A and B are shown apart, each in its own frame.
Chain A
């Protein structure tokens, strides 16, 4: 399977490089654009894992909608205060490094020591099937119907809440 490995290395490199570039940019708008690239690379990685639905959602929701929110937040904020926020915060940097190390150790443990392959089912075909849009549709509209309807009410509450908090004139 050299083709898949080439693609994996390609997407993984893009994801890693773009995320490093993202956190080091002084201009937040540039960071946001590199975040989009990162999201696209992740979508490619999901596709390589045969999770096609997740991959599509990644592009539509994250690279599309969430990014819009990010950019609007950047535009809502005052640009001068952002630079102040980034410079001279030793505590935040130390905390971030500790947190990153913790997550890294956790993932390393997950891959090398807890031997996930033992507990996973060897049936690759089943897990490929589970990632398809058809199978997710089937699960969502047969077994998980109640969470689905509840999500409808969650979105309704979010719509109303957004209007109550953000509408300028309200009566």
Chain B
């Protein structure tokens, strides 16, 4: 059973090894003569002011929350898509109904967010 996943493991393995190899090779073969100017954040730009860890606006968080909701929606659609042909064969066109109701309810949510300006950057 597990053998069928070997390609996936291979892809993951190759990508991990490749990305590590690229970083390591530039460390190994590249010439490195660091000085304080080169190591500064912007070598030929402005002087950095303060840290990166500033408190950000809640607007970003709103986008992230909306993203989660629709990400979960996709999770529900995925097994339906895989099984849909068989369900269509067994139940006929009524196999579409549950998913249509689900999607209409969620797209209404999307429409609501759109109308209320939840996606606007005000």
Residues of A participating in the B interface, judged by any CB pair closer than 8 Å = 3-4, 7, 47-48, 50, 53, 56-57, 60-61, 64-66, 68-69, 72-73, 75-79, 128, 133-134, 136-138, 140-142, 145, 148-149, 151-153, 155-156, 158-160, 162-163, 166-170
Contacts and interface: CB of A to CB of B under 8 A. Distances in A.
B14 interface: no
Contact of A152 (B57, B66, B102): B102
B39 to A, nearest CB: 20
A151 to B, nearest CB: 7
A153 B73 CA distance: 11
Contacts of A68: 64, 67-68
B69 A155 contact: yes
Contacts of B75: 57, 60-61
B98 A137 contact: no
Please report whether the interface of chain B is mostly helix, strand, loop or mixed according to DSSP.
Answer: helix
A128 B106 contact: no
Please report whether the interface of chain A is mostly helix, strand, loop or mixed according to DSSP.
Answer: helix
Contacts of A151: 76, 102
22 contacts: A3-B3, A57-B75, A61-B71, A65-B68, A65-B71, A68-B64, A68-B68, A72-B56, A72-B61, A151-B76, A151-B102, A155-B69, A155-B72, A158-B65, A158-B69, A159-B66, A159-B109, A162-B62, A162-B69, A163-B116, A166-B59, A170-B116
Contacts of B68: 61, 65-66, 68-69
B80 interface: yes
A166 B61 contact: yes
Contact of A162 (B53, B56, B65, B122): B65
Nearest to A124: B1
B22 interface: no
